[in-house]
Chains A and B, each alone.
Chain A
Amino acid sequence: NAGVTQTPKFRILKIGQSMTLQCAQDMNHNYMYWYRQDPGMGLKLIYYSVGAGITDKGEVPNGYNVSRSTTEYFPLRLELAAPSQTSVYFCASSYSGQGFHFGNGTRLTVT
């Protein structure tokens, strides 16, 4: 199993551009999550999904959108990128209390 795979690993965006962060998992987990991590801070939940077709907002959803058409994929969309979205983004998956698996992260810089 590859686990949780995130692409790209690094990205630089200009203010106002948009992009999609990709996340895929091959463990058939029902839950998937997007977190962001700012320097010196813990991870904050952006959006999560309890299964295909079902998504919900986390703590910091503004400026982001998600979709989950299949169990495996959970992309995060940034529209109109802003400097405040400069962060490291982690995707994670879990299965009903069996533990959380994190991807390797995407480092995003918005200038």
Chain B
Amino acid sequence: ELKVEQNPLFLSMQEGKNYTIYCNYSTTSDRLYWYRQDPGKSLESLFVLLSNGAVKQEGRLMASLDTKARLSTLHITAAVHDLSATYFCAVDLTQGGSEKLVFGKGTKLTVNP
């Protein structure tokens, strides 16, 4: 059974600071997703990481994937209040030709002025 663990689950940080969210998973997968969710809203796709060593950046967010370590990171640079949201990693579990996502519990990020 694939388990996906995110840490921290709660993160309060000041504007302008840097921080990293970690996502560990327990079985082999070559595809990992990062999503953002605002309160009461659906999930917004941030990054799709498709191979070992993949790195993607969008604005103040950068995601990376190390499939050998079964680890992905979401790095936040010079945080701003607008980044306050819950961030989920989700690992693609493809078995027997069917693909599905297994989610971490999410990291609730609060960026304070």
Interface residues of A (CB under 8 A from B): 31, 33, 35, 40-45, 48, 50, 56, 58, 90, 92, 94, 96-97, 99-100, 102-105
Contact = CB atoms under 8 A, between A and B. Distances in A.
A40 B104 CA distance: 11
Given A92-B101, A104-B41, 8 more contacts: A33-B101, A42-B88, A43-B90, A48-B98, A90-B42, A97-B99, A99-B33, A99-B48
A87 to B, nearest CB: 14
B68 to A, nearest CB: 21
B42 A100 contact: no
Given A50-B97, A56-B98, A103 B33 contact: no
B108 to A, nearest CB: 8
A88 B22 CA distance: 25
B98 A31 contact: yes
A103 B44 CA distance: 10
A43 B88 contact: yes
A100 B45 contact: yes
A41 B105 CA distance: 5
Contacts of B41: 104-105
B6 to A, nearest CB: 8
B103 A42 contact: yes
Contact of A100 (B33, B94, B98, B104): B33
9 contacts: A33-B100, A42-B103, A42-B106, A43-B90, A50-B97, A90-B43, A96-B99, A97-B31, A100-B45
